[in-house]
Amino acid sequence: MAVQLSKDYNVIINGRDTERLEGVRNRLAEGNHFVWQYDLNDVQNIEQSLTALITDNGIRITHFVHSAGFMKMYPVKMLTAELFNSSFNINVVSAALITKTLTGRKNQKALESAVFISSNISNFGAKAFSVYSSAKAGLDGLMRSLAVELAPEVRVNSVLPGGVRTRMTEHMYQNEELISRLAATYPLGLGQTCDIYHVVRFLLSEDARWITGQQLTVDGGRTVNITG
């Protein structure tokens, strides 16, 4: 997403791992880009850290894509408060606090459009997905309330991808039997990151000027499909 967006926008890339961030930094198109190395699980200092980045560099941030998240499956008997804390911190609380910072005075209230990467599980259920799905549903709840509260200055929407091959899901792709079983449930087949990027780009753009507070499912028809 960042690599594609860097062709048209100056981007600030956030992540925990300095080495991987540098790897992405090197793939960005020419531009005035920044690296914000920060672990979003540490929600106490998000506002302070992001504000420092903005003021130290004299920038204003107009668009925000929240892709941070982790997907691990936990059956009910493995659930702990810590799992929910970190899942909600990374998915929901950080999205709220970043949006708060970008609509604040230090950023000259410059935010125009935010897109949260949710999941097509947000409106459905699956075994061992309670940690992940509740955080994504929470993220979509946040999205709708922010959209109403921040209108008309800021638009806020969610993209709900289905199964896409990324570093987060790579472990699943090592299991051929699992992947072929999964792929059979996707009428348009499994997705690629560019499928999601194009939709995010549309929602960020002025072409989506009157779209706010919406969940946009991009999953090759997976959640529409009840063919037996």
Partner 1 sequence: MEGRCYLVTGAASGIGRATALLLSEMGAKVLLADIDVNNLERVKTECKNEADILVIDLMDANKIKNLIKEKTVSFGKLHGFVHCAGLPYIAPLKVVNAEKADRIYKLNTYAAIELAKVCSNKQIYAGEHGSFVLISSVYGLVGSAANVGYAMSKGAIVAITKSLAMELVNSGIRVNCVAPGFIKTPMADKVDGMMDAEYYDRLNALHPMGMGQTEDVAKSILFLLSDMSSWMTGAVLNVDGGFTAQ
Q: Which residues are catalytic?
A: 132
Please report how close the Cβ of residue 216 comes to partner 1 at its closest, in angstroms. Answer: 6
Phi, psi for 191 (deg, rounded to 5) = -100, 170
Fill in the DSSP letter of residue 44: G
- The kind and range of the H/E element at 68 are none
Please report how close the Cβ of residue 227 comes to partner 1 at its closest, in angstroms. Answer: 6
31-50 binders of partner 1 (CB under 8 A)? none
126-185 binders of partner 1 (CB under 8 A)? 144, 147-148, 151-152, 155
The residue written with tokens 């960042």 in the block is: 2
User: Any contact of residue 104 with partner 1 (CB under 8 A)?
Assistant: no
Which residues are CB-neighbours of 178 under 8 A, at least 6 positions away? 172
Nearest of 212, 195, 194 to residue 203 by alpha carbon: 212
User: Any contact of residue 214 with partner 1 (CB under 8 A)?
Assistant: yes
Q: Are 136 and 123 in contact (CB under 8 A)?
A: no
User: Any contact of residue 7 with partner 1 (CB under 8 A)?
Assistant: no
Please report how close the Cβ of residue 85 comes to partner 1 at its closest, in angstroms. Answer: 27
Site residues, partner 1 (CB under 8 A) = 144, 147-148, 151-152, 155, 187-188, 191-192, 195-196, 198-199, 201-202, 207-214, 216-221, 223-225, 227
